[in-house]
Structure 1
Amino acid sequence: MTCSSLESAMLRWVHAPNKGTRRIALLMFNDCSLQGAGVVAEVFQAANELASSDTGGWFYDVAFLSADGGMVRSSSGLRVWTEQLDARHDAGFDALYVAGGKGAGVAAGDTRLIAWLRRIRHAAGVIRPIAEGQALLDAAYPGDGNTSVDPRPQEPGVEAAGRLESMRSALAMIKRDLGAATARSVAERLLADSCSNLAPLLGEDGGLSPGDKVRAAARWLQENCQQAISIADAAQVAAMSERNFLRRFKMEMGITPSNFLLHERLAVTCSLLTESELPVDKIARRTGMGNGDRLAKVFRKRMRISPTEFRIQSRRMAGE
């Protein structure tokens, strides 16, 4: 996200007086991450822009808040203007997002933030942490089973996963307020290069059968095999639990997802060995195979030959 897009996302938009208003808050602190917070702000900004001509829709009023107000320094060094927490904000919000980032641990010890989170919990429709922001909620609500706090766990240890979870939550509200078509348009605008993964983000399966979902995930694995992806990612694309995905994939494709992914990576590797002059180690990194040593082990196990020997033989055969 560029500085200009984040700045525009933070503006308070002018809206038609006959629209209903949803109040959205983003709780910030020093050394917070702008990534997740910026995604949430841009989702609601895009919804406002797309729904601007619909006088019967909703408007999303987004506020950036902090304990002291004014400029908050993010972990990237950028500064964000925030409103100071005071009695005005105790009336509540339709959704409250708690920023993540390396400063979350220190922020979890700020008694002002914790006291405010405790006051606000019954006046907020949804309270969602963004990645490390969970630390503040753990401090505010130790052992609390309050249903206003979204109970779904963050995907393990990945900041990008926290951003996607926040985006899903925001899109779910937009889908409820403005309809599935608007939610999909917002997702397409923000994820123009990743449209194959929109269904899980939007919480929809389009009426697809389990077989259709598996085949769509197989295509996704094929198209992204050179990236640092996992079987858990593919299960998410199929909108299935990982266990169910493993079972269904083997049933539909006759091969495990891991072996399918390895097969696709080897196919790309063989093509690069034949058609390029790239060193084996670089090819391994480029095709998701780790490094040259791991690639050599896989090649010898699967093809009974080393990558270098394969390169020589394939070029000799091509020249005959």
Structure 2
Amino acid sequence: MSFLSAAGGNITCSSSIRVWTDGLDARHYMGFDALFVAGGKGARAAARDERLIAWLRRVHANTSTVRPIGEGRSLLEAACINGIQQREFGSYNVREERDERNGSEANDRLESMKSALMLIKRDLGIDVARNVAERLMPDAGDSLMSLLGDSSGKSPADKVRAAARWLQENCQRSISIADAAQVAAMSERNFLRRFKMEVGVTPSDYLLHARLAITCSLLTDSELPVDKIARRTGMGNGDRLAKIFRKRMKVSPTEYRMKTRREAGI
């Protein structure tokens, strides 16, 4: 689990607890299992941050579940995500807005709880998910329990998603598709077929996209030479990275570094 903010660094939450957050960068373009957009007093200002909204739209394309929490709905409205159309702030009565949002915010919180419980069930098992529901939401626990279902084994789709997470988490190491097939407990042939069916790309392309995302981030944000970046991201060496980069990005790694830094004003 990661906490993210527009600029990164320490953020003080509503309970006056300071939480360390990562900044927004190209590493996140591969998306998440779920993304929860927090609310609070700064949500309206955040909804006007063009860089943040552009990042949210791009990540949303590769994220299966995006849920607002409270005022976080403003950011989804600004990004026109989940069918929510953008509204012109200040064009309607504040009291009418408050009344309209009360019901939707309560529903947003419930949907976020449901999504989080399903992720806990998938990753840690149904017993842990039930324990969380009982401890943190005793009043709502019964209504949420029906969503958890039984404790049967993982489906092929669950296994593929687990293998996809493993590929992304380990993409900087020297790994193979056969290794990922073992994580999914499938034959390599069946894994290749199932992965393309569930994810939409081959495991090799998925792994390459994950490595390229980290490579792009390091080229922009670090002073590391291209050859060292190639080794750190599982791309072999500088020559191989340059060949892949020109094929996929239509520029050399050095040209990409200069272009992105110039655009960012670095």
More strand by share: 1
TM-score tier by shorter-chain length is: 0.3 to 0.5
Which of these two proteins has the greater Rg computed from alpha carbons? 1
TM-score (norm 1): 0.37
TM-score of the pair, normalised by structure 2? 0.44
- Structure with the bigger percentage of helix: 2
